[in-house]
Amino acid sequence: MSQAQNNAPNTHPHITGSSFKLVTIAGIPIRIHFTFLLLLVFIAASGIGSEAGKTTGAILFVLLLFTCVVLHELGHALAAKRYHIRTRDIVLYPIGGIASLETAPSQQNELWIALAGPVVNLILAIVLGVAMFFVKVKTGFTAQMIGNLRDANAVLFLFNMIPAFPMDGGRVLRSLLSRRMNELMATRTAAAIGQSLALLGGLYALFTLNLLFLLVAVFVYMAAGAEANSLQTKVLISGHYAHEAMISQFHTLELNSSLKNASELMMETSQHDFPIFNGNEIVGLLTRENLLRGLAVEGPAGYVAASMQRDLVKLLPSATLEELLMQMPQNGAVLVMDKNALQGIVTRESLIDFLSLLQMRYAGSGSS
């Protein structure tokens, strides 16, 4: 249904053993998520007791439908290939497919890449419609299957062209808007238009008591907000590096410092995360949470060595902010190291400060 950009091959959520490769088409692995197989099992199970032919028909329909979904995703992937953007893989989920592009396309190219998927469904709907015209008996199994697939492709085309994230239509809209304004403004405007549409759709569904339509509207509203947020962050941080977001003036503690030393230093400096050294070597990180837990368990006389984190996230100063965001621990900080020398630390606070600065800078540059 959509295409996603992901620049970090090692943190790709799809390759975790929960999906397996079906085929490779044009150099692109097509994978199936295990939940998709559950869908088939569910259809087969819910058909128990009814005619065998009906269940077989339902499963055949789902398989053919998902072939159309694969073709939709291949549309995105092949359009991306024209712009020399590789597609890592296409993964099939019960709710649709996702083609993961290795790099983000430029705004101009995104228009054609986003359009290519729905256009495949439009062409399929037209071809199946023409085929239907030539089928003599309109009531048989084959005719019914062709008719259903034609309608499904028409729905896929219309649904994906809704101008709201994360649908392809949202990307098309953003790409068109970005010809008149900067990327961040275009993302925000497209998100606002998408959410307004979802809100109107939701109201309409309420008045007509159409539950399915209401569910779709709620899904689109929430997904549009989430997608817009992640796109905004992506736009903001692109072209920026770890060394820009780090604090280079900071205090450190020795391995044999007491928790009392640590809490005094925290009160004096308002620093929350302390790198812990053993001589010249960095061996740990003591966060505010580590310190509080240590104080509760061991009291002020305890050593930082017992309470600190030993799993450290280290990045080069030249690491991109995108890499940094992906590796930033939930609770802790990233150490910016150059040849074993600690250059600085990126904490949650320093990162938020830097992102706010970027946001101000972007807002200042306005539309162009």
Residue number, 168 or 273, with CB nearest to Zn ion: 168
Least distance to Zn ion, CB of residue 232, Å: 21
**Mask: binding to Zn ion, 323-342, rule CB under 5 A, as x and -?**
--------------------
The footprint of Zn ion on residues 264-303 (CB under 5 A) is: none
Residue number, 117 or 170, with CB nearest to Zn ion: 117
Interatomic CA distance for residues 306 and 343, integer angstroms? 25
Least distance to Zn ion, CB of residue 306, Å: 52
Residue number, 73 or 323, with CB nearest to Zn ion: 73
Q: Does 227 bind Zn ion (CB under 5 A)?
A: no
Residue number, 2 or 350, with CB nearest to Zn ion: 2
Residue number, 223 or 345, with CB nearest to Zn ion: 223
* Listed ranges 110-118, 124-132, 249-257, 264-272: which one lies at the site for Zn ion (CB under 5 A): 110-118
As to burial, measured by CB atoms within 10 angstroms (0-12 exposed, 13-18 middle, 19+ buried), residue 142 is: exposed
Least distance to Zn ion, CB of residue 5, Å: 13
Residue number, 117 or 163, with CB nearest to Zn ion: 117
Residue nearest to Zn ion (CB): 117
Least distance to Zn ion, CB of residue 55, Å: 29
14, 74, 87, 117: which one binds Zn ion (CB under 5 A): 117
Q: 2-5 and 28-33 as β-strands: parallel, antiparallel, unpaired?
A: unpaired
Nearest CA to 237 out of 299, 321, 153 is that of: 321
**Mask: binding to Zn ion, 153-172, rule CB under 5 A, as x and -?**
---------------x----
Interatomic CA distance for residues 154 and 233, integer angstroms? 34
CA angle 23, 29, 30 (to 5 degrees): 65
Beta carbons of 331 and 318 less than 8 angstroms apart: no
Sign of CA dihedral 90, 93, 94, 96: negative
Least distance to Zn ion, CB of residue 58, Å: 24
* Listed ranges 116-124, 184-192, 200-208, 270-278: which one lies at the site for Zn ion (CB under 5 A): 116-124
Residue number, 167 or 334, with CB nearest to Zn ion: 167
Distance of CA 121 to the CA centre of its chain: 24
Residue number, 118 or 332, with CB nearest to Zn ion: 118
* Listed ranges 46-54, 109-117, 207-215, 300-308: which one lies at the site for Zn ion (CB under 5 A): 109-117
* Listed ranges 29-37, 59-67, 112-120, 288-296: which one lies at the site for Zn ion (CB under 5 A): 112-120
Contact residues: Zn ion, CB under 5 A? 2, 117, 168
